[in-house]
Amino acid sequence: MRIEKLSRLRGPLVLTTLCLIPLALWARAVPLDSRFSGDFATLTSIAVLLAYAGTAAFALNLVLGARLRPVETLLGGLDRMYKTHRVLGQAAFCLLLGHVVLILAGRATISTDVALDLLQPGAGRTVFTGVLAFAGMTLAIVLTLFVRLGHEVFVYVQRTFGLVFLVATYHVFTTAGAKEDSQALNLYLAGLATLGIAAWLYRSLLGNLLVRRRRYEVVGVNRLDDSVTEIMMEPVGKPLSFLPGQFVFVNFRSLALRAQFHPLDVSLRRRTLSIRAGEIANQFHPFSITSAPGEPTLRITVKAVGDYTRALRTLEQGAEAVVEGPYGSFSDRNVANARQIWMAGGIGVTPFLSMARSLDGSGREIDFYYCVEHEPEAHFLDELREIARSNDDFRVVLVARDTDGFLTAERVAREHEDLLSADVLICGPPAMIDNLRSQLGTLGVRDERIHAEEFGFAKLGRTSAVGA
């Protein structure tokens, strides 16, 4: 279990080390005594250190936003990668904010006017581009974290971070600091900056040309109730290979969607800003795969939680689907323990559908708790029970809140004495995951045995992180 913990920490440790390397190179370049002699020198030196670490974090965050497979593997799945992405983006902003504040504070030791002059165009192109870059980053951060944006606007705001970084790199490499401090430092920062810009170009500007995607055709749209829709697609060419439980990003090219999303249709409903650009031809949304690997038909199940997912209920047969992926590590195949307990909340059943449909009699013993508000909302329940009837090691338990209350770890422990030796897989609303994780931990289930995926990411595609 200690190895699993180290594996989870490996990615963040690598990123932290890469952000700290510029500080070590800076410290080796010139004796530190001269850098911290007096208030002005001390404040300026600390500000420079924050700038180097912030620039490194910004560049690495653009790399995380590119959804590169090796990076996903390093961080243990796309869901963890985007959580790291968000934290790293916030860290980059705080570091660069500290840089600005301390630079101004250092100049203020001379005079307030000298400090304020740095914010004016008269300070010179190099300094003023730094001011513009930080202002652009601040605006994008505020819009991303504190304004409820529609998905399309959110994606476009995220893409502006690459432009902001280009302006910031001009400031960094035309300032005397890195060049004069150390050639190794200069080369290191240039390498990270190049990597970040290349990742941004790969994902945001050249994605249609460089990112590997597969084409499918919609062959069926099954409306399960007023909000849940199952979409079936068949490949046009080579089908996608995936593990049960993974998800894909899908863009539908549809006449029905085009009719609903008119060019430059601005909506302020529900206090959410949305700008619709035609049929949103380049917007990809994440959905869990519900079909089993090897099936000829690729299936996803969508709950209407926004304008786009509601519009998918009108999707017509014959519409084109462009599929990117697969992504994610939430799968029973990635859990070595054969004894597993699955817990799904509402539409969080989707990754478990793929897992249940692909059970191969390999000896896994599984108890599946399917939690819904009301029993009629338990879609695919009959199919799951049929799978259980044909597989003695797979058992399905329906938990309807209106009759049974919320699922608790205490109930699971009463019903399964071997809970502490089982691995638990949970997918559902964040509150459900947090509550069950806490309850399981209280009962003694080690964190390494709890595997969770928030369906808020896999269904909504909101990452709220710099540089997506």
When pLDDT is averaged across residues 82-106 and rounded to a whole number, the result is 93
The answer to whether the 2-209 and 332-460 domains have the same CATH topology is: no
Return the CATH number of 332-460, one of 3.40.630.10, 3.40.50.80, 3.40.50.300, 2.160.20.10: 3.40.50.80
For 211, counting Cβ atoms within 10 Å of its Cβ (0-12 exposed, 13-18 middle, 19+ buried), the class is middle
Superfamily of domain 214-327 in CATH is Translation factors (2.40.30.10)
pLDDT in the model for residue 169: 93
| DSSP label of 406 | S
pLDDT in the model for residue 435: 96
pLDDT in the model for residue 457: 47
Cα distance between residue 65 and residue 467, in whole Å: 5
pLDDT band at 150 (very low <50, low <70, confident <90, very high): low
Residue pLDDT, tens place only, 96-128: 999 999 999 999 999 999 889 988 888 889 999
Percent residues over pLDDT 90 in the chain: 64
Return the CATH number of 2-209, one of 1.10.1740, 1.20.58, 1.20.120, 1.10.8: 1.20.120
Percent residues over pLDDT 70 in the chain: 88
Cα distance between residue 236 and residue 16, in whole Å: 43
Q: What is the mean pLDDT of the chain?
A: 87
Residue pLDDT, tens place only, 350-406: 999 999 999 987 789 999 999 999 999 999 999 999 999 999 999 999 999 999 999
Asked whether the predicted pLDDT for residue 251 surpasses 50, the reply is yes
* In contact, 387 and 357? CB cutoff 8 Å: yes
pTM of the model: 0.83
Asked whether the predicted pLDDT for residue 178 surpasses 70, the reply is no
Cα distance between residue 419 and residue 384, in whole Å: 22
When pLDDT is averaged across residues 301-326 and rounded to a whole number, the result is 90
- Structure-block tokens of residue 81: 């990668």
Asked whether the predicted pLDDT for residue 245 surpasses 60, the reply is yes
Residue pLDDT, tens place only, 14-64: 999 999 999 999 988 877 787 888 899 999 999 999 999 999 999 999 999
Residue pLDDT, tens place only, 448-467: 999 997 654 444 333 333 33
pLDDT in the model for residue 307: 75
Asked whether the predicted pLDDT for residue 270 surpasses 80, the reply is no
When pLDDT is averaged across residues 216-244 and rounded to a whole number, the result is 95
pLDDT in the model for residue 455: 52
Domain ranges of the chain: 2-209, 214-327, 332-460
CA 450 to chain centroid, in Å, comes to 20
For 252, counting Cβ atoms within 10 Å of its Cβ (0-12 exposed, 13-18 middle, 19+ buried), the class is buried
What is the length of the chain? 468
